[in-house]
Structure 1
Amino acid sequence: MATFLQQVINGLSIGSVYALMAVGYSLVYSIMNFSNFAHGGVIMIGAYLGFFAMTLIELPFIIAFALAAVGAAMVAVVLERVAYRPLRNRNAPFLYFIISAMGASIFLENIVIATIGPNFRTYPRVFSATPYTIGSISIGRLDLTMFWVSAFSLAVLIFIIEKTKTGMAIRATAYSGRASVLMGVNTDRIIFIVFGLGGLLAGIAGVLFGMKYTVYPQIGFITMKSFIAAVFGGLGSLPGAVIGSVLLGTIETLTAGYISSQYRDLISFVLLILILIFRPRGLMGKVTEDKA
């Protein structure tokens, strides 16, 4: 039982970071009806910004953390203006958005390799390596920080979406973009805000994930897990993205703990295939046959 609880705690930690990534996916999907595969590049940029802010500039962790989040939000907004807005103005098919997103992701990854290099980099230690212990269960200080920071960030996002006028406009645009325009909603501004919020969460996730493991140009591949989590919970559903992420993180850690860590990625993609076959809309998503 102690081993099981330990794996569940570890799963909640990594699942909370998956949730930050998956919510960014779901936000963009709910508004623009396509999967933003460039989201991984934004997470990578956030991880690098936090790392260099702490090592080169030697900023305190809190300031470096905030700088990385804001920097990632700016990158996400620039990507939207450069890679997606021209397509929106031409009413391009959704397939064009996906191709553009993949191109943007490859561009970000390769420009980092060309300018910074492909080497793995490790964040300086911020938290003590001594874990909290409850009986035979150990909770790492970084793991606990990852969980609480993610939970707080998601709570703030939910407050914005549910309790503010901007959030109401986001929900209206997600429900029907055309009807929102007729009601006076500036959808271009809403898309700008959505990409900014998604980028902010991506920057937070990039720093947390980089601190947990390492920073490297291909770190954005981890967003495939958040994509699986978003599909699991239901693309376009923020609560679904959170629930799917926590479940995926828990399933992965249980797989690594009881079977082998070599199977954790296999289990994730098998889960994705099963969801697409038996429940394409996920746990809490709505039917969206016209989306890609």
Structure 2
Amino acid sequence: MAGFMQQIINGLSIGSVYALMAVGYSLVYSIMNFSNFAHGGVIMIGAYIGFFLLAAYKMPFYVAFALAGAGAGLLALIIERVAYSPLRKRKAPFLYFIISAMGASIFLENIVIATIGPTFKTYPKVFSTQPITVGSLSVGRLDLIMFVISAISLAILIFVIEKTKIGMAIRGTAYSVRASALMGVNTDHVIMIVFGLGGLLGGIAGMLFGMKYTVYPQIGFITIKSFIAAVFGGLGSLPGAVIGSVLLGIIETLTSGYLSSQFRDLIAFALLIVVLIVRPMGLMGKFTEDKA
């Protein structure tokens, strides 16, 4: 029983980081109805920003943390203005958005390889590696910090979406872009805010993930897991993205603990296939004819 609870704790830690990544997908999908595959590149840049601020400039953790999130958010805004805004103005098909997103992701990955290099980089130790022991259970300090930061960030996001005027504008635009525009909502600004929020959370997730593991140009591929979590919970649903991410994290850790780590990715992709076949809208998503 103790071993099972230990795996659940580990799953909650990684699942909370998946949730920060997944809400970026869900926010964009809820309004623009396409999956922003450039989100992985944004997360990767956030991880590198945090690494260099801690390793090269010796900045305090909270300063590096804030700048990594802000830098990733700014990058997400730039991608939206350069790669997506011209397509929106031309009312291009959703396929064009996906191609543009993939191009932006490949560009970011290769520019990092060309300028920084392809080698793995390890974050300096910021927190003690001594675990916190409660009875027979042990919780890594970094795992606990990851969970707390993720939970606080997601709580703030939900508060903004549910309780503020800009949140009301986001919810209205997600329901109908045309109707919101007719009611006087500047949907262009709403889309920019959505990308900025998604990028901010993605940068935070990238830094946390890099601190637990390593940083490398292909780290953005981890967002495939968060995309699976978003699909599992329901694309376009923030609560669904969070629930799907936590469940995926727990499933992965249980698979690694009781079967083998080699089956972890296999189980994740098998779960995606099953969800798409049985319930394409996910656990909490709404049916839509256009899912891209």
Query: TM bucket by the smaller chain?
Result: over 0.9
**CA-to-aligned-CA distance 1:192-247 (integer Å, 9 cap, x gap):** 00000000000000000000000000000000000000000000000000000000
Q: Which residue of 2 aligns with 1:235?
A: 235
SS in 1 for 2:214: coil
Q: Distance in 1 between matches of 2:17 and 2:55?
A: 23
**How far apart, in 2, do the equivalents of 1:127 and 1:55 lie?**
14
Residues 1:94 and 2:115 are matched in the alignment: no
The residue number in structure 1 matching 2:260 is: 260
Instruction: Provide, for residues 166-197 of structure 1, a one-character-per-residue CA deviation record: whole Å limited to 9, x for no partner.
Output: 00000000000000000000000000000000
Name the SS of the counterpart of 1:170 in structure 2: helix
Distance 1:41 1:270 in 2: 25
Matches within 5 A, 1:73-152: 73-152=73-152
* TM-score, normalising length: structure 1: 1.00
Structure-2 residue corresponding to 1:180: 180
| TM-score of the two chains, using structure 2 as the length reference | 1.00
SS at match of 1:118: coil
Unaligned segments of structure 2, at least 5 residues: none
Rounded Cα–Cα distance in structure 2 between residues aligned with 1:291 and 1:210: 31
Task: Please show how residues 1-292 of structure 1 align to structure 2 within 5 Å.
Answer: 1-292=1-292
1:133 counterpart SS class: strand
Q: Distance in 1 between matches of 2:86 and 2:195?
A: 15
* Separation in structure 1 between the aligned mates of residue 50 and residue 283 of structure 2, nearest angstrom: 34
Deviation of 1:28 (Å):
0.3
SS at match of 1:215: coil
Could you give the per-residue CA deviations for residues 149-175 of structure 1, whole angstroms, max 9, x where no partner exists?
A: 000000000000000000000000000
Partner-residue secondary structure (3-state), 1:138 = strand
**Partner SS state of residue 133, structure 2:** strand
Deviation of 1:291 (Å):
2.8
Whichever residue aligns with residue 150 of structure 1, its letter is S
The amino acid of 1:103's aligned partner reads G
TM superposition shift of 1:289? 1.4
CA shift for structure 1 position 290: 2.0
> 1:263, 1:291 → 2: CA distance?
28
Q: Let me know the Cα RMSD of the aligned residues.
A: 0.4
Shift of 1:88: 0.3
Could you tell me which runs of 5 or more consecutive residues in structure 1 were left unpaired when the two chains were aligned.
none
- Give the fraction of aligned pairs with identical amino acids, expressed as a percent: 79
1:50 to partner: Cα distance? 0.3
Q: Which amino acid aligns with 1:39?
A: H
CA distance in structure 2 between the partners assigned to 1:163 and 1:129 by the alignment: 38
Letter in 1 for 2:101: A
CA deviations 1:105-159 (Å, max 9, x no partner) are 0000000000000000000001111101111110000000000000000000000
1-structure distance, mates of 2:219, 2:288: 30
Matched position secondary structure for 2:120: coil
Structure 1 runs, 4 residues or longer, greater than 2 Å off: none
In 2, Cα distance between the equivalents of 1:67 and 1:160?
A: 21
Shift in Å, 1:263: 0.5
What code does the residue aligned with 2:237 have?
S
**How far did residue 55 of structure 1 move?**
1.3
Displacement of 1:68 in angstroms is 0.5
In structure 1, how many angstroms separate the alpha carbons of the residues matched to 2:291 and 2:147? Answer: 32
